């Protein structure tokens, strides 16, 4: 017989994921809108900001790396270090300093990419 009072019942799990997914979707949409503007400024199609894995590869290209290095985002531990490096390089490409890049492009990306995307910063391809 099915025990409907267990923690793992369908209703409980649905409630748990339902309450977490709404803020997650909101943050994802905000980051996608901000990245759309950043991609446009850098000369890439903005629609690529919506596609979850592709946007990492485009950010890698904006940072001045080969798109193949975007595969480093899939390697545990390495992805943290590489994402910091990409954030620093993207910040430098938009004439932002290291502190701005670390805190607002890596830690609080939804804020930093809005500042870059909707601000008056221009993109300079890194060398």
User: How is 32-47 classified by DSSP, letter by letter?
Assistant: HHHHHHHHHHHTS-GG
Q: Which residues contact 105 (CB under 8 A, 6 or more apart)?
A: 87, 88, 90, 91, 96, 112, 113, 116
User: Does residue 54 register a pLDDT over 90?
Assistant: yes
- Residue 42 pLDDT more than 90? yes
Average pLDDT over residues 78-89: 96
- Chain position carrying tokens 């990306």: 109
The pTM of the full predicted model, rounded to 2 decimals, is 0.81
Average pLDDT over residues 44-53: 94
On the question of pLDDT at 4 being above 90, the answer is no
Least trusted range by pLDDT, from 1-10, 66-75, 103-112: 1-10
More confident residue, 51 or 22: 51
Given a cut of 90, is residue 100 above it in pLDDT?
yes
pLDDT at 32: 94
The confidence band for 110, taking pLDDT boundaries of 50, 70 and 90, is confident
Instruction: Report the distance separating Cα 73 and Cα 23, nearest Å.
Output: 24
Kindly tell me if the per-residue pLDDT of 84 is higher than 60.
yes
**Over 90: is that where the pLDDT of 79 sits?**
yes
């Amino acid at each position: 017989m099915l025990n409907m009072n267990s923690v793992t019942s369908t209703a409980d799990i649905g409630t748990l994921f339902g309450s977490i997914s709404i803020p997650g979707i909101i943050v994802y949409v905000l980051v996608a809108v901000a990245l759309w503007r950043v991609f446009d400024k850098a000369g890439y199609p903005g629609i690529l900001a919506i596609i979850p894995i592709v946007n990492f590869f485009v950010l890698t290209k904006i940072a001045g790396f080969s798109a193949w290095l975007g595969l480093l985002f899939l390697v545990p531990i390495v992805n943290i270090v590489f994402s910091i490096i990409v954030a620093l390089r993207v910040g430098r490409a938009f004439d932002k300093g290291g502190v701005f890049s670390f805190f607002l492009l890596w830690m609080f990306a939804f804020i930093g990419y809005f500042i870059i995307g909707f601000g008056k910063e221009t993109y300079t391809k890194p060398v």
